Structure 1
Amino acid sequence: MMEIIREHLIFTGRVQGVGFRFKAQHLARHYGVTGWIRNNYDGSVEAQMQGREEELDKIIQSLQQDSYIRIDWITRNRIETESGERSFSVRH
């Protein structure tokens, strides 16, 4: 079994007002990834995702291929995993 990791991500580009957070939530649930996602006041979207690295990569690839979303830059940093987290939520 592959290692579970957690990443803190910041997405910039056309990422607000295009269904980005809800598509990310759908993909996270599909791939069994936990964490959260929210819009930032500066127009970026921030997330923490926890799962296998391969699954996190698949989510990001799917978001990049969406016709309404345009990701110009992604900042990805590994952080400590959170045990006990069971779902992926959209924060407001």
Structure 2
Amino acid sequence: MKAIKQIRKVVRYRGDVQGIGFRANAIHQGRGLNVAGFVRNEPDGDVLLDVQGPEKDVRELLRRIGDSMERKINETSIDDRDPLPDREKFAIRY
């Protein structure tokens, strides 16, 4: 059986993104998708999303977050990274 290629994106959201349920929303948007990683608040007021999975699922998660939080996001930066082994869940980090 052919393994599905994994991709990893590290995304920084800037704007009015803390204290509004952004992280919980990100986890909700990931339901039903084959993604792993985390979302956390950063000390500078940004939210950091580190996610990996099949390309179609990662892209769908980013689309869902962007659509659902567009009024709160002023800027998004996305970096491609190498996938990490043994990631199994998508969760909030504190």
Which TM class, normalised by the smaller chain length?
Answer: 0.7 to 0.9
Mean CA deviation greater in 47-56 or 60-69: 60-69
Q: Which runs of 5+ in 1 are unaligned?
A: none
Count of residues paired in the alignment: 92
Which position in structure 1 is the counterpart of 2:64? 62
Contact 2:22 2:69 in 1 (8 A): no
Which position in structure 1 is the counterpart of 2:9? 7
Q: Which runs of 5+ in 2 are unaligned?
A: none
Matched residue type, 1:82: L
Contact 1:29 1:88 in 2 (8 A): no
Once residues 9 and 26 of structure 2 are traced to their aligned partners in structure 1, the CA distance between those partners, rounded to angstroms, is: 14
Identity of counterpart residues, as a percentage?
27
Rg comparison, structure with higher value: 2
Once residues 2 and 70 of structure 1 are traced to their aligned partners in structure 2, the CA distance between those partners, rounded to angstroms, is: 33
State the TM-score, normalizing by the size of structure 1.
Answer: 0.85
From 50, 53, 57, the counterpart of 1:51 = 53
State the TM-score, normalizing by the size of structure 2.
Answer: 0.84
Matched residue type, 1:4: Q
